[in-house]
Structure 1
Amino acid sequence: MRTALSLFAFFALSACAGSGIPRIGLGDFSALNVNGAPVTGDRPLTLRLEKEGRASGHGGCNSFSTSYTLESGERITFGPIASTRMACAPEVMEQETRYFAILSAAESYSVYGSGSLSIIAADGRAIRFRR
């Protein structure tokens, strides 16, 4: 019985590991920092990873939506970002520009034991999120 359960767990985890979805998880994330700079402004920077490769969220000033693709080896890419076009305080707009730029240039992610997530651009810039 123990062997059968061990084999079942092994195959279940192996099947999930290739897709990326169980590793990164679907749901809502809130940014802790954008390339090391703490989040500023009244509105949180958010990212919602949805089924079928859809993502949405808030950049601190504007709402956005995009697509995303998960690949093996903790690789992620985002499609073009569509956002509302409201104006906010200059520092919030600058932060949002950096946020969207990193998402647009993303090529990998890391998940940490606490459930936090980093989205990492090819040049090393990153956004750190928590659930």
Structure 2
Amino acid sequence: MRKPFIFAPLFSLLVLLFLVGCSGSVRPDGRHAAVSLEGTRWMLVELGDRRIKLSPESKRKPHLLLGGTGRKASGFGGCNNFFGSYEVEAGDRIRFSNLASTLMSCPSMKVERDFLKALELSDSYTVKDNTLKLYKARLGKLATFKAASKK
């Protein structure tokens, strides 16, 4: 004789795990994000409306990583590593502070200077379709990033 009541709790647990696994990231405002703002390596693809053009000497692509203890921001600007802090507030507000970088000199520093300036000026963001965009109210879009593919 079968005892179906033994399988009911197991089935319920499997359904619950499936639903939790499919839920994705939820932002503070309750909307779902394809990827999380924090813990994702964001590869810089545009500054303003200009596509990023790297010099032939560039071996690494500029990127941003948010997360860790104390809301730390870090990344690579095209020549130097950088680091600092950030704050996220309700309404998709973001603010970077105390940004600093290593002091290597490279033939072309324009992308790095513009990238760090965009971080300093940004006051809001959106994350949609694996894309992070940083904005400044009066200046419009400052930078666009794509989530790095997981390997």
Shorter-chain TM-score bucket reads 0.7 to 0.9
Displacement of 1:71: 0.1
Amino acid across the alignment from 2:132: L
Displacement of 1:19: 9.2
Runs of at least 5 residues in structure 1 that lack an aligned partner in the other structure: none
Aligned length: 119
> What secondary structure is seen at the aligned counterpart in 2 of 1:99?
helix
Q: Aligned to 1:120, which of 116, 135, 138?
A: 135
Structure number having the greater helix percentage: 1
Displacement of 1:18: 4.7
Which stretches of structure 1, 4 residues or more, deviate above 3 A after TM superposition? none
TM-score (norm 1): 0.77
Conserved? CA contact 2:130–2:146, under 8 Å: yes
Conserved? CA contact 1:102–1:125, under 8 Å: no
Counterpart in the other structure of 1:65: 83
Q: Aligned to 1:86, which of 104, 116, 137?
A: 104
> What secondary structure is seen at the aligned counterpart in 2 of 1:86?
coil
Conserved? CA contact 1:63–1:83, under 8 Å: yes
Counterpart in the other structure of 1:99: 115
What percent of counterpart residues are identical? 29
Displacement of 1:16: 5.0
CA distance in 1, matches of 2:141, 2:107: 23
Q: Aligned to 2:28, which of 17, 39, 51?
A: 17
Deviations 1:9-62 (A, max 9, x none): 8xx99x852599x76342211011111211122231100011331010000111
Displacement of 1:126: 1.3
TM-score (norm 2): 0.68
CA-based RMSD of the aligned residues comes to 2.7
Conserved? CA contact 2:125–2:133, under 8 Å: yes
Runs of at least 5 residues in structure 2 that lack an aligned partner in the other structure: 1-11
Rg (Cα) greater in structure: 2
CA distance in 2, matches of 1:71, 1:27: 18
Shifted more, 30-39 versus 69-78: the winner is 30-39
Counterpart in the other structure of 1:108: 124
CA distance in 1, matches of 2:77, 2:106: 11
